Amino acid sequence: MNLAYGFRREASYPHFGQGTNLIPRAIRGKWMKRVKEMEFAGFEMGHQLPDGMAANESNVKDIAKEVADAGLAVFGIRGGGSVANPRTYETAKKRWEDAIQFASWIGSPIVNSSMGTPPDLTQPGSFKGDTVSQGSSESASQHDYEISAEALRGFADRAADLGIGISLEIHQHSIFDTTWAARKIHALVDRPNFSINPDLGNIYWTWDTPHETSEQAIHDIAPISNHYWHCKNLKRIHLPQHDHAIFLQAPLPDGDIDYCYAMTAMIQHGFDGTIIVEGMRVGDPYYGDGKSAAYMKSLIEELT
């Protein structure tokens, strides 16, 4: 089992970026040293390179060597997008293909995607914690799942040729936002290198009142989640008078989701893949994410 860093704050003095790109080359060595000091074996990243570099085989392999020289590895590549919507199909298809090729060049065993669509910010359900969620399974058709499964089979087959697994993340603003939907697509795709990323935080914050408990969700999804697992924790503040809930991110031991329970369920179902600690988005990430890493390492040691 691997413990890796899903950094969500692009900050290492003097650099600060608004996204989740890899830290620039000039200070990347210092950043990777901190990642290793938090006892992560590596990290996940997007399928773009920092510093304005083109993502070609030579440049990507240079990054791979730099990461390996730091004693780390890239465990997952984020990419892809929704192929059920004809307006986004071509862009999403290229992102999937690019992410799979990038993963092959950098030596990552997994491509992870949420297959979400950008919400319309002028309409209800565009954020987290509303009574409705745009693009959700509640409004999906059987055809949406069949079209998605057909495309995912093709991506999984291409990835398998390169020795790569595909992880589909349960995610808001996606037709794969519940364990029911995830089980459905997993059965339709039916490929050995295709599994579900059971992101309990995403299930928790999609609606103002979660549609399933974290405990029930992990029971239902652990049997088909054997490769890759995003872990973040949240504190929910319900505002029923506004039909909304606010979710505040917390280090993994400090939120509403019981990760001891979830880890036990995953291990009982044979999980031996990569756990991604999804990092803090505000504040000092090295304190909060270091605390999360230490907690997850203690659970792994206790339960295995």
Residue in 161, 159, 5 with CA at minimum distance from that of residue 74: 5
pLDDT digit string, tens, across residues 279-288: 999 999 999 9
β partners of residue 231 = 277
Burial class for 170, CB neighbours closer than 10 Å (0-12, 13-18, 19+): buried
Question: How many other C-beta atoms lie within 10 A of the C-beta of residue 140?
Answer: 18
Percent of the chain with pLDDT over 90: 92
Q: What is the mean pLDDT of residues 161-169?
A: 99
| Whole-number pLDDT of residue 19 | 80
Q: Where are the alpha helices (DSSP H) in the chain?
A: 25-37, 57-69, 89-106, 142-161, 179-189, 200-205, 214-221, 259-268, 285-303
CB 96, CB 79: distance < 8 Å:
yes
Kindly indicate the confidence band of residue 86, based on its pLDDT and cuts at 50, 70 and 90: confident
Residue-level pLDDT at 117: 83
User: How much is the average pLDDT of 7-24?
Assistant: 91
Confidence class for position 70, pLDDT limits 50, 70, 90: very high
Query: Taking 90 as the threshold, does the pLDDT of residue 118 lie above it?
Result: no
CA dihedral (184, 187, 192, 194) in degrees, to 10, reads -20
Q: In the predicted model, what is the mean pLDDT of residues 243-261? A: 98
Query: What ranges do the domains of the chain cover?
Result: 2-303
pLDDT, residue 62, reads: 96
Residue 115 has pLDDT above 90, yes or no: no
Q: Is the peptide bond before 14 cis (omega within 30 degrees of 0)?
A: yes
Confidence of residue 51 (pLDDT cuts 50, 70, 90): confident
The mean per-residue pLDDT over the stretch 264-275 comes to 98
Q: Give the architecture-level CATH label for domain 2-303.
A: Alpha-Beta Barrel (3.20)
Distance CA 20, CA 11 (A): 9
